[in-house]
Chains A and B, each alone.
Chain A
Amino acid sequence: MSAIFTIAKRELGGFFNSPVAYVFLVIFLLLSGFMTFMISNWFGMGQANLAGFLVWHPWLYLFLVPAVGMRMWSEERRLGTIELLLTLPVTPWQAIAGKFLAAWAVLGIALLLTFPMIVTVNALGHPDNGIIVAGYLGSFLLAGAYLAVTSMTSALTRNQVVSFIISVVVCLFLILAGFPPITDLLVRWASPGVVETVASFSVMTHFVGLQKGVVDSRDLLYFASIIGFSLFSTSVILRAHRAG
């Protein structure tokens, strides 16, 4: 446990000693503000909720989360520090968890820094804060799912750009499989059962429920299993790479 903490602390230091964390925070806040106010026209909607804000997160995260996570393992492989890390008395699982948690914490900080949205909506109206909390929880889990996918892709290659592109494609698939315009299109060719099965793999299906304030254990389980599966794949890839 303390090894996970030590590794996470080092990773966090790495984020904040380099421009990565700051660039991410600023871009995330600017873009989410832009989407909410200019595209969703949040003030014009006249609704005391954060739907117009949270709806953009799957798309924002699509590019920003792989950007934060792409160096996670590829940089270790490129610099050779992976050899150092994994010959210290640390299990690969501790290293994977430590790195993942540190990057997830950065994403969490970004999300917390959007607190003025909550303040504003509470000042202007009487929103259901339970729905808002569920929506934030959904957003955080979504970011974790993308990040775990990025952890897996960054273990695949020593090239950060390749890692970034593959994780964007995988995450895009996770969105589109349940994105209404796509599922509506698919229904014309495939039986509803098939479309539903494919859609159940999508982050959208599960994110939407949380946005509406429904904390369903199936949705939580979905995100937990995406994260668990991706991190497990990371360990398999790392082991295969070491075995040559």
Chain B
Amino acid sequence: MIKVEHLQKRFGPKIAVDDVSFSVEKGEVLGFLGPNGAGKSTTMRMITGFIPPSSGRVSVGGFDILEAPLAAKRLIGYLPENAPAYSDMTVAGFLAFAAELRGLSGDAKRKAVHRAIEMCFLEPVANQTIETLSKGYKHRTCFAQSILHDPDVLILDEPTDGLDPNQKHEVRTLIRTMGEKKAIIFSTHILEEVEAVCSRAIIIDRGRIVANGTPAELKRRCDHAGTVTVRLAKSAPGAAEKLAALPGVGKASAQEGGLFHVIPCDKSGTGIAAAIYELAARETWTLEELHTEEGRLDEVFRSITLGDKSTKEVAA
């Protein structure tokens, strides 16, 4: 549905987005991660046709955003950063306005507005002017605008920014359910959100894509990923050596209080926890804890976005 090829954006001498390519199909939810100022919003603005790229191509549903902007924009629902809305309008009036510009009229318009109000829990404020709303409601009003026409493509720039935990949860659930039928890109810097919602994530740093994969794949890039923690009730002599001798295990080290860290030779190796369990059964060790470290997205994020910088600074 969305195809981005070698996208680049320069603002004067500064390169905000540099050679970004990816594609998103229907049924995918792509999380866009990155530190502030990494180029997430700029990329989204180029995809939605708000700003033209310096070079590269964007096509949405087969329509080039520069050559057939209206056809492409009809397929897109877009929630810009900070959820702008005409503050002098009522929620229902604003949504009706957006629906009309989407080419809906009469009954179809009324139904679309009603549906969006319902899906975004806006009933209590439907007839209030937007300037009187709290940030959360204002945000959801703009979000409602983006799903009015049930678009095939949703581009959401920080959809949960400024929401309370309950609202965040509602919005995530909404994105996940809609993601089954749509192509969705959303940006965030909340990492747990990526794990909860995305089928794929891209980490972007200083305008470049530095990682692209499923959340599980990304987590596996963590240094601790795959490490199995074993805690035995009673200290068993020679346990560390026996653990290290298991097939697939690279290193086993004994810690305080019957605790062992077992590091596999291959991070994607999944079998070692089972092997450890069988070993414990044979040796009649009492296992208090057996836990495979999945890796933590925030650590991966930090190591990718910070680690990169330090090496570059050294090179410079």
A positions within 8 Å CB-CB of B? 2-3, 6-7, 10, 13-14, 17-18, 79-81, 83-84, 86-91, 242-244
Contact (Cβ within 8 A) A13 B48: no
Q: Return the contact of A243 from the options B49, B52, B86 (Cβ within 8 A).
A: B52
Contact (Cβ within 8 A) B88 A87: no
Determine the distance from Cα of A242 to Cα of B73 in the docked complex, in whole angstroms.
Answer: 16
Contact (Cβ within 8 A) A13 B89: yes
Contact (Cβ within 8 A) B101 A88: yes
Closest to B42 in A: A244
Is B288 on the interface with A (CB-CB < 8 A)? no
Is B80 on the interface with A (CB-CB < 8 A)? yes
Q: Contacts A81-B84, A84-B145 given: A242-B101 contact, CB under 8 Å?
A: no
Q: Beyond A6-B100, A13-B89, A244-B9, list 5 extra A-B contacts (CB 8 Å).
A: A7-B101, A14-B86, A80-B84, A90-B101, A244-B11
Interface positions of B from 68 to 88, Cβ below 8 Å from A: 69-70, 73-74, 76, 78, 80-82, 84-88
Determine the distance from Cα of A18 to Cα of B131 in the docked complex, in whole angstroms.
Answer: 12
Minimum C-beta distance from B227 to chain A (A): 45
Contact (Cβ within 8 A) A86 B50: yes
Query: Interface code B139-176, partner A: CB below 8 Å = 1, 0 otherwise?
Result: 00010010000000000000000000000000000000
Closest to B49 in A: A87
Which label, helix, strand, loop or mixed, suits the secondary structure of the A interface? helix
Minimum C-beta distance from B85 to chain A (A): 7
Q: Return the contact of B101 from the options A80, A81, A89 (Cβ within 8 A).
A: A89
A-B contacts counted at CB < 8 A amount to: 74
B positions within 8 Å CB-CB of A? 9-12, 45, 48-52, 69-70, 73-74, 76, 78, 80-82, 84-89, 93, 97-98, 100-103, 129, 142, 145
Determine the distance from Cα of A13 to Cα of B92 in the docked complex, in whole angstroms.
Answer: 14
Contact (Cβ within 8 A) A91 B70: yes
Residues in chain B near residue A90, CB distance under 8 A? 70, 73, 101
Minimum C-beta distance from A160 to chain B (A): 15
Closest to A5 in B: B100
Contact (Cβ within 8 A) A10 B89: yes
Contact (Cβ within 8 A) A84 B80: yes
Ranked 10 nearest A-B pairs via Cβ: A80-B84, A89-B73, A6-B100, A87-B48, A83-B80, A81-B84, A244-B11, A88-B101, A89-B74, A87-B78
Max chain B C-beta neighbours (<10 A), residue from A7, A10, A87: A87
Minimum C-beta distance from A3 to chain B (A): 6
Residues in chain B near residue A13, CB distance under 8 A? 88-89, 93
Contact (Cβ within 8 A) B76 A87: yes
Q: Contacts A89-B73, A89-B74 given: A14-B80 contact, CB under 8 Å?
A: no
Contact (Cβ within 8 A) B93 A87: no
Contact (Cβ within 8 A) B84 A79: yes
Residues in chain A near residue B52, CB distance under 8 A? 242-243
Q: Contacts A18-B88, A79-B84, A80-B84 given: A88-B51 contact, CB under 8 Å?
A: no
Residues in chain B near residue A244, CB distance under 8 A? 9-12, 51
Contact (Cβ within 8 A) B87 A17: no
Max chain B C-beta neighbours (<10 A), residue from A3, A84, A90: A84
Residues in chain B near residue A79, CB distance under 8 A? 84, 86-87
Minimum C-beta distance from B157 to chain A (A): 9
Contact (Cβ within 8 A) A83 B101: no
Residues in chain B near residue A80, CB distance under 8 A? 80-82, 84
Max chain A C-beta neighbours (<10 A), residue from B11, B84, B89: B84
Determine the distance from Cα of A243 to Cα of B70 in the docked complex, in whole angstroms.
Answer: 18
Residues in chain A near residue B50, CB distance under 8 A? 83, 86-87, 242
Determine the distance from Cα of A86 to Cα of B89 in the docked complex, in whole angstroms.
Answer: 18
Max chain A C-beta neighbours (<10 A), residue from B73, B78, B100, B101: B101
Residues in chain A near residue B73, CB distance under 8 A? 87-90
Q: Can you name 22 A-B residue pairings with CB atoms under 8 Å? A: A3-B101, A10-B89, A10-B97, A13-B89, A13-B93, A17-B88, A80-B81, A80-B82, A81-B84, A81-B85, A83-B45, A83-B80, A84-B78, A84-B84, A84-B142, A86-B50, A88-B102, A89-B103, A90-B70, A243-B51, A243-B52, A244-B12
Minimum C-beta distance from A21 to chain B (A): 12
